[in-house]
């Protein structure tokens, strides 16, 4: 057992059974660490199941503030006999196993190179509680108490958390405190503290701890969305639920108690996007939230939105595909399905939030972009960002900011006699003016359709008219480049010939990997892409580096495909680093892959 303690830098993983009440106890543990001023990065790894299957919760304790996954486990809290062997095997050499020692285990169940801490949780519960449900729930709290003592945490932080959680319900507070204390006392009497220690720090600051789905929903409220039509699908459901919660809280008319929003749980994803398109056509800001299978179903409407030029916002919380795939695992594998969604020649703007903070800002921005560009805008979350709580800077909003409704020809414009052609490119940016239905008694009405038509919205199948319109749509997409958030360049300390392009939920692990690689003497410039279509800066970055890696969480290198296709880049110029087993990418994986690829010379430097 190592003697020098490691402070505030290790990974604890809880292996539990789904539905055993462990989620709240594990969350309590993570919050306890943060209340000691130490940042955490926590991730749920859960099955597509309500009760009985294995579930894990990984808490990275990181004073340095690395919010991606590191990889590896230093302390395994093994509470699930089903997954025991796999869980024990996953512990780093020199790490620790915490288990329920009520029943004796054979020596073969353990490993020689790890420390083993047994606490007879079941026996303690059976002695203290009579009701089966209490035995189960308080067992979770007892292990939190034991960890508190083993890791040198302050029990007072849990007292505060119980008080906040149960708000004056003293009986519950006392019962939880008693269970916690049982764990603390057992460790103090029978065991030594571990060399993994949580030490009070001041590194959390005023940051907030929030899920991306909740942040995106709040972004939709601030972005002025009034219509939400959705169909339940993991991992996007909590976005619609959070939108409902925030609307009730923030959008109820104070005088009448009436709703300044309309939320409909539709019969399927097709109806969801249909309602969004109908509302967008009629001048309300509308969105749906879904995941891969929903995107597949929505494609016909996305094409209509593209061709008839109707604003819509889709939050795609990506999960493991294809087909039903891995519904409760994460991937970035819908990029191509979203970018080129629907039949015929189509392409659509995408936004790539890297964390819940950007889910909020991009969630609001998406509605301005959809109205400005009169098309569907996708916000590409994934399960890792959407359903895990992340520590991010507080949400901010500029009080002066106004919603950009785009080019809308009002009654006054129409009355003044301005020429109105629904698909007429007046300003040369490819974006025409639109009217809301009912705008004017005699002017501005038009017949919206998915069929080809001339600039005045009149049906036409003439080749020249069709081509002219399709070219205008390309000009509009060109305009979109300037409106999508610009990529963010992260320069290496010195001048570097190597670059890496990444996006979305890989970003936190990427930042850490870049630092690790730099420490090994491998300096890389990083470019975080924040949306599609790509700014010229993306292609300039590729041109400026001899070797360029593209890191993404899918099998087929979808971001690379988009970059190559849209910018005419030689595919050999880009080397993929791909992680797609459904777990969030880790810093160790990225650093290891890039180090390996460069060391083995698998990456040829460009001429």
Partner 1 sequence: MTYILKPQLHHPKLPTNSLGYTRRDYEGSVSTLCAGCGHDSISAAIIQAVYELEILPHRIAKLSGIGCSSKTPDYFLGASHGFNTVHGRMPSVLTGANLANRELIYLGVSGDGDSASIGFGQFAHAIRRGVNMTYIVENNGVYGLTKGQFSATSDKGSKSKRGVVNHDSAIDLVSIALQLGATFVARSFSGDKAQLVPLIKAALSHKGAAFIDTISPCVQFNNHAGSTKSYDFVREHNEAVNRLDVIVGREAIDVDYAPGETIEVAQHDASILRLHKLADSYDPTDRVGAIAYLQSAQARGEIVTGLLYVDPEAEDLHDGLGTVETPLNALSDSELVPGVEALARINAVLR
Interface residues for partner 1 in 353-412 (CB under 8 A)?
394-397, 399, 401-403
Select from 206, 416, 464, 495 the one that contacts partner 1 (CB under 8 A): 206
Residue 21 engages partner 1 in binding (rule: CB under 8 A): no
How far apart are alpha carbons 483 and 404 in whole angstroms? 12
Between residues 256 and 602, which has the closer beta carbon with respect to partner 1?
Answer: 256
Select from 196, 227, 362, 562 the one that contacts partner 1 (CB under 8 A): 227
Which of 219-227, 379-387, 495-503, 549-557 is the region at the interface with partner 1 (rule: CB under 8 A)?
A: 219-227
Output the smallest distance, CB 222 to partner 1, in A.
6
Binding to partner 1 (CB under 8 A) within 432-461 occurs at 435-442, 445-451, 458-461
Inter-residue long-range contacts of 246-254, CB under 8 Å, 24+ positions, other chains counted = 246/217, 246/218, 246/221, 247/221, 250/221, 251/221
Residue 216 engages partner 1 in binding (rule: CB under 8 A): no
Between residues 257 and 494, which has the closer beta carbon with respect to partner 1?
Answer: 257
How far apart are alpha carbons 22 and 582 in whole angstroms? 22
Binding to partner 1 (CB under 8 A) within 109-128 occurs at none
Residue 290 host element (H or E): strand 286-290
Backbone angles phi, psi at 237, to 5 degrees: -55, -40
Binding to partner 1 (CB under 8 A) within 304-363 occurs at 304
Residue 300 engages partner 1 in binding (rule: CB under 8 A): yes
264, β-bridge pairs: 229
Q: What six digits make up the tokens of 151? A: 């890791």
Between residues 93 and 402, which has the closer beta carbon with respect to partner 1?
Answer: 402
Residue 248 engages partner 1 in binding (rule: CB under 8 A): no
Binding to partner 1 (CB under 8 A) within 260-279 occurs at 260-264, 266-268, 270-279
Backbone angles phi, psi at 491, to 5 degrees: -75, 140
How does strand 9-17 pair with strand 54-62? antiparallel
Q: Tokens 């300096």 appear where?
A: 523
Cis check: omega of the bond before 322, within 30 degrees of 0: yes
Output the smallest distance, CB 69 to partner 1, in A.
22
586, β-bridge pairs: 69
Between residues 197 and 244, which has the closer beta carbon with respect to partner 1?
Answer: 244
Between residues 394 and 571, which has the closer beta carbon with respect to partner 1?
Answer: 394
Binding to partner 1 (CB under 8 A) within 148-167 occurs at none
Going by C-alpha positions, the residue among 308, 307, 313, 311 that lies closest to residue 290 is 313
Between residues 234 and 448, which has the closer beta carbon with respect to partner 1?
Answer: 448
Q: Are 281 and 273 in contact (CB under 8 A)?
A: no
Output the smallest distance, CB 67 to partner 1, in A.
15
Q: Are 153 and 198 in contact (CB under 8 A)?
A: yes
Q: What six digits make up the tokens of 511? A: 């930042």
Output the smallest distance, CB 532 to partner 1, in A.
25
Between residues 112 and 399, which has the closer beta carbon with respect to partner 1?
Answer: 399
Select from 283, 327, 349, 499 the one that contacts partner 1 (CB under 8 A): 283
Output the smallest distance, CB 322 to partner 1, in A.
24
Output the smallest distance, CB 398 to partner 1, in A.
8
Binding to partner 1 (CB under 8 A) within 456-495 occurs at 458-462
Between residues 194 and 439, which has the closer beta carbon with respect to partner 1?
Answer: 439
Residue 208 engages partner 1 in binding (rule: CB under 8 A): yes
Q: What six digits make up the tokens of 319? A: 């999960």
Select from 7, 84, 129, 209 the one that contacts partner 1 (CB under 8 A): 209
Select from 112, 189, 202, 253 the one that contacts partner 1 (CB under 8 A): 253
- Radius of gyration for the alpha carbons in the chain, expressed in angstroms and rounded: 27
Residue 178 engages partner 1 in binding (rule: CB under 8 A): no
Select from 135, 207, 555, 588 the one that contacts partner 1 (CB under 8 A): 207
Q: Are 312 and 284 in contact (CB under 8 A)?
A: no
Output the smallest distance, CB 503 to partner 1, in A.
25
Tell me how many degrees the CA angle 56-234-49 measures, rounded to the nearest 5: 50
- Measured CA distances, 561 to 261, 402, 493, 547, 598 (Å): 39, 36, 29, 17, 22
Q: Are 318 and 332 in contact (CB under 8 A)?
A: yes
Which of 89-97, 200-208, 507-515, 546-554 is the region at the interface with partner 1 (rule: CB under 8 A)?
A: 200-208
Exposed/middle/buried for residue 482 (C-beta within 10 Å: 0-12, 13-18, 19+): exposed
Residue 296 engages partner 1 in binding (rule: CB under 8 A): no
Output the smallest distance, CB 277 to partner 1, in A.
6
Between residues 129 and 395, which has the closer beta carbon with respect to partner 1?
Answer: 395
Q: Are 83 and 103 in contact (CB under 8 A)?
A: no
Fill in the DSSP letter of residue 81: G
């Amino acid at each position: 057992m190592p003697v020098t303690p490691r402070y505030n830098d290790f990974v604890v993983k809880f292996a539990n059974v789904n539905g055993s009440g462990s989620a709240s106890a594990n969350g309590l543990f993570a919050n306890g660490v943060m209340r000691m001023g130490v940042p955490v990065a926590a991730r749920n790894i859960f099955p597509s199941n309500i009760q009985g299957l294995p579930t894990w919760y990984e808490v990275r304790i990181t004073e340095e503030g690395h919010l991606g996954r590191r990889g590896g486990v230093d302390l395994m809290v093994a509470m699930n006999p089903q997954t025991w062997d796999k869980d024990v095997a996953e512990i780093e050499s020199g790490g620790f196993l915490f288990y329920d020692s009520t029943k004796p285990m054979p020596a073969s169940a353990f490993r020689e190179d790890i420390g083993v801490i047994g606490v007879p949780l079941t026996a303690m519960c059976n002695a203290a509680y009579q009701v089966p449900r209490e035995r189960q729930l308080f067992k979770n709290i007892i292990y939190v108490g034991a960890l508190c003592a083993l890791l040198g945490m302050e029990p007072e932080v849990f007292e505060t958390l119980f008080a906040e959680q149960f708000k004056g319900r003293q009986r519950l507070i006392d019962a939880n405190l008693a269970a916690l204390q049982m764990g603390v006392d057992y460790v103090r009497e029978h065991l030594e503290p571990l060399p993994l220690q949580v030490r009070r720090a001041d590194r959390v600051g005023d940051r907030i701890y929030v899920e991306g789905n909740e942040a995106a929903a709040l972004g939709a409220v601030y972005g002025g969305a009034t219509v939400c039509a959705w169909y339940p699908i993991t991992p996007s459901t909590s976005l619609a639920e959070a939108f409902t919660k925030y609307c009730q809280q923030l959008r109820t008319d104070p005088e009448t108690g009436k709703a300044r929003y309309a939320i409909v749980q539709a019969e399927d994803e097709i109806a969801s996007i249909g309602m969004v398109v109908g509302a967008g056509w009629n001048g309300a800001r509308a969105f749906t939230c879904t995941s891969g299978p929903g995107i597949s179903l929505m494609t016909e409407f996305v094409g209509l939105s593209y061709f008839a030029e109707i604003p819509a916002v889709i939050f795609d919380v990506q999960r493991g595909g294809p087909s039903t795939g891995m519904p409760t695992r994460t991937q970035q594998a819908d990029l191509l399905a979203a970018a080129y969604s629907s039949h015929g020649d189509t392409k659509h703007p995408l936004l790539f939030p890297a964390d819940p903070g950007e889910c909020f800002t991009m969630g609001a921005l998406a509605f301005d972009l959809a109205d400005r560009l009169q098309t569907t805008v996708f916000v590409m979350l994934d399960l890792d960002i959407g359903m895990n709580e992340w520590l991010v800077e507080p949400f901010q909003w500029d009080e002066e900011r106004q919603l950009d409704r785009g080019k809308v020809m009002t009654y006054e414009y129409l009355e003044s006699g301005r020429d109105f052609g629904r698909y007429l490119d007046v300003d040369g940016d490819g974006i025409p003016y639109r009217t809301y239905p009912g705008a004017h008694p005699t002017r501005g009405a038009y017949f919206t359709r998915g069929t080809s038509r001339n600039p005045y919205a009149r049906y036409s199948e003439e080749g020249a008219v069709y081509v002219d319109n399709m070219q205008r749509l390309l000009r509009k997409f060109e305009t979109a480049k300037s409106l999508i958030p610009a990529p963010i360049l992260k320069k290496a300390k010195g001048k570097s010939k190597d670059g890496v392009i990444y996006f979305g939920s890989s970003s936190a692990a990427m930042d850490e990997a870049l630092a690790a690689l730099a420490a090994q003497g491998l300096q890389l410039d990083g470019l975080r892409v924040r949306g599609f279509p790509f700014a010229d800066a993306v292609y300039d970055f590729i041109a400026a580096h001899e070797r360029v890696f593209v890191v993404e969480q899918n099998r087929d290198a979808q971001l690379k495909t988009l970059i190559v296709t849209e910018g005419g880049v030689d595919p050999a110029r880009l080397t993929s680093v791909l992680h797609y087993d459904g777990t969030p990418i880790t810093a160790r994986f990225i650093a290891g892959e890039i180090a390996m690829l460069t060391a083995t010379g698998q990456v040829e430097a460009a001429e």
